[in-house]
DNA sequence: GTGAAAGCGCTAACAT
DNA sequence: ATGTTAGCGCTTTCAC
């Protein structure tokens, strides 16, 4: 009650000087008391703390930054507009940074180099302590700039410069997980349907699938079918596949969208899943995978983990312990019913 | 060439003092020259600009903030982890803020009040100029706090306090657009399948649909079917609907996920879409709507526009022109083939 | 037209 | 144990 009238007029943020005045000490003493530095009588500390509490004081991050040269802030540049992939990555980054009491500036470059330079400039003007670049495709991208005053970590889309610090998913390992699952559930005639050959992820997963099959003494049933990352392509490809390789009993798909199309395509051609054909997707896009018929078994690439690792590596680099090079995060299989 | 060796050693950001030294003027003059203030000889301005360019100087935002009390920074608090809804909203916000040269801090409260308070505190310590709260549901939420030193705008999820500035979608209008489309394409027996009754959006859209139908002298075919926001529910509800109201020729769905399930359910019961039954969804979630069979006609709620409006309103409020109250953004119909 | 000086809010070094 | 001072990088008076 007593302060409801007072707080209604809350105009100015309390500064350290206000606390000093209220506690009857000097600003320097307040600083020491609140930061646990110097040597002060416990009674003084308590008095200062009380005064600070009463005024709702907390120190200005801006002033601190000016003094320390650090802002406890990092920039996240996403190349796409926070899509399917950058979002979990960002959540992971935030997770990691939150622990270090850092905040993140969000910048969306929309795949436009001009915009990217603009954001980079703004971030440097703001003296961010570091930068994370989150891509939406696994294809390597050219580095931000070769001479930056702060550390940079590339997440999901690696930098073309192997010296840069990048965190990527284990594409071939993901394919291996899928193939292993199919083989272990008794499939022998396994086909691969995926996205555009121009995408590194499509090429890598196809190569990984072939490798893994070879280790089981098997080979892919027919050539990998490259197309688009769409359900329409998946349905179309499923029909085509049944024409060219009618005796398949397993399909590994380059992503869940395609897998879902394939599931519908196969089912509507009269095949029972998973009895007659086993199906594994990639991405673990939950809404999609759960609604598929049957619910889709798929490889989770560990995007959040990529984000967390990227955040951790950035924090380490900021603290003077850079870990250059490419760091690989392994995914895991999410078994549903397909 | 000459500077490639120099830049390799780029250690310290150039400060205004460096520029001043190089241009042979005082710091004050540099400031004036670069900001177009004061009265200086054009020759001096040019010399300063040249020096600044050469050193790659740009002023420290931190120092400026300390002086001006403004940070040209806003906080975005999303209650969910940047999901389907907050993402387009955020993109809109960024669009709007970018114009004003503001940057955004991203905070994810994960629907946890504790975490929210924590983020709020951090944002205030950083002296953000304003805050946007982006929700993932249209249900009204309690305000952040009643006595904040900076303006707040609620996006998508309005504040329970009508005095607060909120930007929301026109839920009833969205339903009206859907119904109008169905009626205009000749449907007369129109049913409604939607999400949980506990969600304001489900209730509002159902009410809007009834209203709009009434204006055409029609009424809903059967009661609205409330369930979950899932495809499984959509499929189930479609079958149920055909049992209770076999002669329907149109269905409006509370969102695209449900609509997609309904499309599959109806098609698999032997109905042709859109010939026998017209279908309209809500949300315009492109991946989903485009892959539906047939591609789904749906209402776009204008989420990006909500974000932009929220950004604009926040900027205005920061400039001293607050516009309290609830601002409504109207959606539009995206006609595909259903 | 330009320079010198003060100050934004804080902390670290040095006095007392 | 506490107070005083200087200074982080910039802008803004106010002298000159």
Cα-Cα end-to-end distance for chain A: 62
What element of type H or E holds B155?
strand B152-155
- Predicted confidence (pLDDT) at residue A5 exceeds the cutoff of 60: no
> CB B139: neighbour CB atoms within 10 A?
15
The three-state secondary structure class of A90 is helix
The integer distance in angstroms from the CA atom of A133 to the C1' atom of D12 is: 38
Q: What is the DSSP string of A276-312?
A: T-EEEEES--HHHHHHSSSPPEEEE--HHHHHHHHHH
The integer distance in angstroms from the CA atom of A14 to the C1' atom of C8 is: 14
Specify which residue's alpha carbon is closest to the C1' of nucleotide C1: B40
Partner residues linked to A134 by β-bridges:
A78, A155
CATH topology of domain A171-300: Rossmann fold (3.40.50)
Average of pLDDT values for A145-163? 93
Of A314, A281, A326, the closest CA to residue A168 belongs to A326
Most confident range, picked from A13-17, A334-338, B81-85: A334-338
Is A82 in the B-facing interface, judged by CB distances under 8 Å?
A: yes
Packed helices A16-23 and A42-55: angle between N→C axes, nearest 10 degrees? 120
Contact B136, B86 (CB under 8 A): yes
pLDDT band at A12 (very low <50, low <70, confident <90, very high): confident
Q: Would the CB atoms of A232 and B261 count as touching at under 8 Å? A: no
The three-state secondary structure class of B226 is strand
Which pLDDT belongs to residue B11? 58
Chain A: residue nearest B9 by CA?
A147
List chain A domain ranges.
3-59, 71-169+303-330, 171-300
Contact B102, B73 (CB under 8 A): yes
Average of pLDDT values for A218-245? 96
Average of pLDDT values for A202-231? 96
How many degrees, rounded to 5, is the angle at CA A195 between CA A260 and CA A252? 55
User: CATH second-level architecture of B3-59?
Assistant: Orthogonal Bundle (1.10)
pTM value > 0.75:
yes
Which pLDDT belongs to residue A6? 32
Chain B: residue nearest A87 by CA?
B82
Place of tokens 């020096």: B51
Q: What is the DSSP letter of B296?
A: P
- Predicted confidence (pLDDT) at residue A281 exceeds the cutoff of 60: yes
Helix, strand and coil percent figures for chain B, each rounded to 5: 45, 15, 40
Which pLDDT belongs to residue B1? 35
Chain B: residue nearest A103 by CA?
B105
Strand ranges of the sheet holding A130-134, from the earlier edge strand across to the other edge: A325-329, A165-169, A152-155, A130-134, A73-78, A103-108, B103-108, B73-78, B130-134, B152-155, B165-169, B325-329
Of B82, B125, B147, the CB nearest to A7: B147
CATH number of A71-169+303-330: 3.40.50.2300
Residues contacting A195, CB < 8 A, separation 6+:
A201, A202, A226, A227, A228, A229, A233, A254, A255, A258
Which pLDDT belongs to residue B5? 32
Q: How many CA atoms lie within 13 A of B297 on its CB side?
A: 23
Of B59, B71, B82, the CB nearest to A90: B82
Phi, psi of A107 (to 5 degrees): -135, 135
Contact B92, B304 (CB under 8 A): yes
Contact B282, B332 (CB under 8 A): no
How many residues in total does chain B contain? 338
Q: Does the fold of domain A71-169+303-330 match that of domain A3-59?
A: no
Q: Where are the alpha helices (DSSP H) in A56-170?
A: 61-68, 86-99, 113-125
Contact A83, A111 (CB under 8 A): no
Dihedral Cα A206, A207, A211, A217, nearest 10 deg:
50
Helix, strand and coil percent figures for chain A, each rounded to 5: 45, 15, 40
- Predicted confidence (pLDDT) at residue A8 exceeds the cutoff of 50: no
pLDDT in tens, chain B (338 residues): 333 333 333 457 899 999 999 999 999 999 999 999 989 999 999 999 999 999 999 999 999 999 999 999 999 999 876 677 888 888 899 999 988 889 999 898 888 999 999 999 999 999 999 999 999 889 999 999 888 999 999 999 999 999 999 999 999 999 999 999 999 999 999 999 999 999 999 999 999 999 999 999 999 999 999 999 999 999 999 999 999 999 999 999 999 999 999 999 999 999 999 999 999 999 999 989 999 999 999 999 999 999 999 999 999 999 999 999 999 999 999 999 99
* Helices H / strands E in chain A, number of each: 13, 12
Structural tokens at position B104: 């955004």
Q: What is the DSSP string of A10-46?
A: --S---HHHHHHHHTS-HHHHHHHHHT-S---HHHHH
What is the sign of the dihedral through the CA atoms of B97, B100, B104 and B109? negative
- Predicted confidence (pLDDT) at residue A82 exceeds the cutoff of 80: no
Which pLDDT belongs to residue A1? 35
Q: How many CA atoms lie within 13 A of A270 on its CB side?
A: 2
Packed helices B256-268 and B231-244: angle between N→C axes, nearest 10 degrees? 50
Restricting to A residues 51-70, those with a Cβ less than 8 Å away from any Cβ of B are 58-63, 65-66
The integer distance in angstroms from the CA atom of A39 to the C1' atom of C14 is: 15
């Amino acid at each position: 009650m007593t302060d409801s009238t007072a707080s209604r007029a809350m105009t100015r943020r309390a500064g350290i000087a206000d606390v000093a005045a209220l506690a009857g000490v000097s600003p320097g003493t307040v600083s020491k008391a609140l930061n646990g530095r110097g040597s002060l009588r416990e009674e003084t500390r308590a008095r200062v703390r009380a005064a600070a509490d009463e005024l709702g004081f907390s120190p200005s991050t801006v002033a601190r930054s000016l003094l320390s040269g650090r802002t406890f802030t990092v920039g996240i540049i996403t190349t796409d507009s926070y899509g399917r992939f950058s979002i979990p990555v960002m959540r992971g980054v935030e997770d990691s940074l939150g622990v270090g009491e850092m905040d993140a500036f969000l910048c969306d470059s929309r795949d436009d180099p001009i915009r990217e330079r603009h954001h980079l400039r703004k971030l440097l003007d703001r003296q961010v302590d570091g930068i994370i670049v989150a891509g939406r495709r696994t294809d390597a991208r050219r580095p931000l700039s070769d001479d930056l005053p702060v550390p940079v970590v590339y997440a999901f889309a690696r930098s073309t410069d192997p010296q840069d610090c990048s965190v990527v998913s284990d594409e071939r390992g993901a394919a291996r997980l899928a193939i292993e699952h199919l083989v272990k559930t008794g499939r022998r005639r396994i086909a691969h349907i995926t996205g555009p050959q121009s995408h590194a992820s499509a090429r890598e997963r196809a190569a990984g699938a072939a490798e893994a099959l070879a280790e089981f003494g098997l080979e892919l049933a027919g050539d990998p079918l490259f197309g688009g990352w769409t359900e329409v392509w998946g349905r179309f490809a499923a029909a085509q596949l049944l024409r060219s390789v009618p005796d398949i009993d397993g399909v590994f798909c380059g992503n869940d969208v395609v897998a879902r199309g394939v599931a519908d395509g196969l089912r509507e051609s009269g095949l029972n899943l998973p009895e007659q054909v086993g199906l594994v997707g990639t991405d673990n896009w939950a809404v999609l995978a759960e609604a598929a018929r049957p619910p889709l078994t798929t490889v989770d690439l560990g995007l959040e983990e990529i984000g967390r690792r990227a955040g951790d590596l950035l924090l380490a680099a900021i603290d003077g312990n850079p870990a250059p090079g490419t760091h690989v995060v392994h995914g895991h299989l999410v078994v549903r019913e397909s």
